[in-house]
Structure 1
Amino acid sequence: MSCTELFPLPRLVRRRFVWGSLLAAGLATRPLAQAAAPALPSTEVRMALLLGNRNYPQPFDLPPIPKNLRDLEEVLGKRGFRVTSALDLDLPAARRALESFIAEAAASPADATVFFYFSGHGVQVDASNLLLPAGLNPSAKGELLQTGSVQLLTDVVRRLPPRREGMVIAVVDACRTGLRAGEVSGLNQVEAPPGCLITFSTGAGKPAIAPAVETQNTFYTGSLVRLMSTVSDQTTFPELMQLVRSDVRETMLNHPLAAIRELAQDPFIADHTRVRITVEPKREGAAAPA
């Protein structure tokens, strides 16, 4: 069952959130910071795979997803990541992209930073976090969703080689609702493996809100892009995710629309990182931070 059906509010509120007054409310994502000069080459290995799906059967399409991917790809590139971005992959194509990314991660140094991102429809079934590929109806039966989706832990996180000196980061901007209203059994059993940081845009059993226009980000990804671009270079990735969580909460709880305040997201973070890695990589010829 989709988030829309789980939360039958007025037409205003759904996973694809309709609000035309975002700019007037002062909540649009600020432009990415412009570098004063070309960045020095990074001495770190950083790689990212971004998967985003807009194309779902009506009325479940998600117009903001292409912008989410574009904006996040840009800011990750500025932070030294080599980014692969894929929009609207069906399940076979998504699995091929994952296989290639996992193989690349396996061949990378022990101190590499590996970043996985998904934005689209998500469902939780029997404590599994399912990432729905393009074209799959979110209101389909549980068995079809389970066999037709990517499972975050089984198919992604646990297959990425552990990082003794590096970090695996998994970011999911999607709903975490169950198939039936009130179904939250097992949803809190998300634990990050050693060396891994897992973040969700919303809490267990909760929806994530998205605009129904192509020109705006989702709340979570908009905050992630803006803060990754503007925080201090010495901010660590776990610290960044805590800042994003606070920003999303503050933005939604203080939104002028009551419907958004009622569905304010509380992003979830599972942090089992073992080393300190900052958002800004080490650069060739750069002076060490004071």
Structure 2
Amino acid sequence: MLRRKWLLLLTTTALLLPLASILIVKKIWTIPEFASDEWIATTEEKIINVANNLPVASDNSVMDDKLKNVMGELIAQNRLAMQKEYRTALVIGNSKYKLATELANPINDATDIANSLRKLGFEVTLLKDADLRQMEQAIDNFNRNLRQGGTGLFYYAGHGTQVDGENYLIPIDARLEREQDVRYESLPVGKLLNVMEDASNDVNIIILDACRNNPFGRKWRSLQRGLAPLTQTVKGTLIAYATSPGKTALDGEGRNSPYTTALLQHMKTPNLDVEQMFKQVRADVLKQTGGKQTPWESSSLVGSFAFNAVGGNNVATSAGKSSPLPTSTTPITTPAASPITSLVITPSPTLSPTAGTRTAYFTQPPSLLKASTTYNRVSEPGAVYYFTINLPENAGEPLQKITIQQREGLEYIRFQLDKSIAFEGTESQEGQKLELKDISSDQKTQTVSIAFNPPVSPGKKITIGLQARQNPQFDGVYLFGVTAFPQGEKSHSQFLGFGRLHFYRRN
């Protein structure tokens, strides 16, 4: 009898200790309603069954195999319960544009989506009316959260546009006088994809309610409506658009856009697989807009995921894996996982010739630290202009090229390109020399281009030196815009800021 009580105590302890640990860290893991009544009842029933069916051991050296199996099952189930998936989300809503028409619903849409995701167990960062710097900083923080594993979700409501087949999300402070300004003033969706690819999570979801009519495009020579189909694919990622490529979405007359209204309705459906959920969203939007708006998705998911997984089916699974938590109800059957495909609901648009080429982005962009000159008197010959750049450890890609463009000044400054130099470190602490190639100058755009051979690896601070034929004859401030390009056959440039040099007349 004493042995039987001891075994019962051991079994109960093995079951309750992990549960207690989960409850303690519940707030940290953002686990809502983990210990549901159904789960607790099922677990209690198992404990009672173990207690009532404990065998009487014939000796004190061997525990009955049946008891071992039952205890092992209980312990394994609780261990898997403790490994409940981590869910993180970045939600951005931009409404109050400074140089464009204000949108009515994105702030409402983002706020309601954020609240819904929190109830569904996501750790949510909500950004409202964000400028470019705030959006880029949020993406950097999101990248760190994604590295914890689990499921990542990005939602954006606001203005978006496409340029040359690339999609961009427009911050509220964007100045888009020309089409070329988009890459410097907006956030590329490709950068977000690179962040998710870098994290290598099983499930990543991107939702873009950003296909509203582009007010900036009226000033551009060419105007492409809506967003473009993404040619870059990342395994384990579902990308959802409010409408099909090249089309515009409605902002809506109520609190939310038609697309977000449908999302909020169907995200809370219990145990509804995410791909099936978006089909129901599409049906609702088609009905609500009279067929004028057709939501569209591209999916490379290889497992199953439900926003509102109940009855223990709350862990995102890879293909072939089953949900680990016990339940007394009949399991919900989800469609079998299919190979990686691109699901296009509308007729497939024509892709660009570079559709198979991956665009390279910096995960964490470089930064311009300093600009200086050896001589700052006007008309001084042979002065060297130094530009110091930091390439962070988590840049994601090596640095392949730098362009330096004179943006402001009363006189165009010419350089002796054959005397250009680059080295690790700063002007005052010069390190190893860097080899340069393809140094060129475009007088029409007043731009010097410098390529590195080999490209510069992340985690380095470098300085570029350009020797001027002579300093300008006119005094004042001269601004030089510095842009970095990651290594790749097709790369997205990252504007780093302006180097400011001030030239003075002799006293």
Report which stretch shifted further, 126-135 or 185-194: 185-194
Q: CA deviation at 1:285?
A: 7.5
- SS of equivalent residue, structure 2 residue 205: strand
1:61 equivalent to 2:98? Answer no
Unaligned runs of 5+ in 2: 1-31, 36-80, 316-323, 331-507
- Please name the residue that 1:243 is paired with: 280
Q: Are residue 116 (structure 1) and residue 116 (structure 2) matched? A: no
Cα gap change, 1:72/1:189 in structure 2, threshold over 3 Å: closer, same or farther? closer
Please give the alpha-carbon distance, in whole angstroms, between the structure 1 residues aligned to 2:161 and 2:285. 21
Check whether the contact 2:95–2:105 (CA below 8 A) recurs between aligned residues: yes
- Superposed CA deviations along residues 45-72 of structure 1, whole A, max 9, x for unmatched, are 1110001101113651112122112211
TM-score of the two chains, using structure 1 as the length reference: 0.72
SS in 2 for 1:114: strand
| Structure having the larger proportion of residues in strand | 2
Q: Does 1:273 align with 2:301?
A: yes
Taking the aligned partners of 2:164 and 2:212, their CA distance within structure 1 comes to 12
Query: How high is the TM-score relative to the length of structure 2?
Result: 0.43
Amino acid at match of 1:216: R
Q: Determine if contact 1:237/1:278 at 8 Å carries over to the other structure.
A: yes
Q: Which residue of 2 aligns with 1:175?
A: 211
Could you tell me which residue of structure 1 aligns to residue 179 of structure 2?
A: 142
**C-alpha separation in 1, matches of 2:182 and 2:168:** 8
The whole-number CA distance in structure 2 between the counterparts of 1:61 and 1:186 is 19
Equivalent runs, 1:127-276 vs 2, <5 Å: 127-136=165-174, 140-153=177-190, 155-161=191-197, 166-175=202-211, 179=217, 183=224, 187-211=228-252, 216-229=255-268, 231=269, 233-253=270-290, 264-276=292-304
RCO greater where, 1 or 2, for CA within 8 Å and sep 6 or more?
1
- Residue 101 of structure 1 corresponds to 142
Cα deviation 1:104-138 (Å, max 9, x = unaligned): 112x13xx11000111001011111110011225x
Structure with larger Rg: 2
Distance 1:162 1:234 in 2: 28
Please state whether the residue corresponding to 1:250 is helix, strand or coil. helix
Quote the sequence identity (%). 25
Contact 2:262–2:281 (CA under 8 A) maintained in structure 1: yes
Structure 1 CA distance for aligned equivalents of residues 279 and 246 of structure 2? 20
Would you say the 8 A contact 1:105–1:161 is kept in 2? no
The aligned amino acid for 1:225 is: L
Label 1:185 to 1:266 Cα distance change in 2 as closer, same or farther (>3 A): closer
Distance 2:90 2:128 in 1: 11
> For the residues of structure 1 that align with 2:107 and 2:212, how far apart are their CA atoms?
21
Runs of 4+ in 1 over 6 A off after TM superposition: 283-286
Contact 1:126/1:185, CA 8 A, preserved across alignment? no
Q: Does the CA contact (< 8 Å) of 2:129 and 2:172 recur in 1?
A: yes
Tell me, yes or no, if the aligned pair for 2:267 and 2:307 is still in contact at 8 Å. Answer: yes
Q: In structure 2, what is the Cα distance between the partners aligned to 1:279 and 1:248? A: 19
User: Which of these residues, 164, 173, 176, is aligned with residue 126 of structure 1?
Assistant: 164
Distance 1:185 1:105, change over 3 A: closer
> Aligned to 1:160, what secondary structure does the other structure show?
helix
Matched, 1:71 2:104: no
* Unmatched 5+ stretches in structure 1: 1-37, 254-260
Shift of 1:88: 0.9
8 Å Cα contact 1:124-1:177 kept in structure 2: no
Assess if the C-alpha contact under 8 Å between 1:176 and 1:202 holds in 2. Answer: no
**Which of 34, 57, 62 pairs up with 1:40?**
34
| Number of aligned residue pairs | 235
Q: In 1, distance between residues paired with 2:231 and 2:329?
A: 35
61 and 165 in structure 1: CA distance in 2 versus 1, 3 angstrom threshold = closer
1:157 Cα shift? 1.3
Shift in Å at residue 181 of structure 1?
A: 7.0
CA deviation after TM superposition for structure 1 residue 192, in Å = 3.5
- The equivalences for 1:78-97 within 5 A come to 78-97=119-138
Structural RMSD (CA): 2.8
Instruction: Quote the offset at 1:190 in angstroms.
Output: 3.9
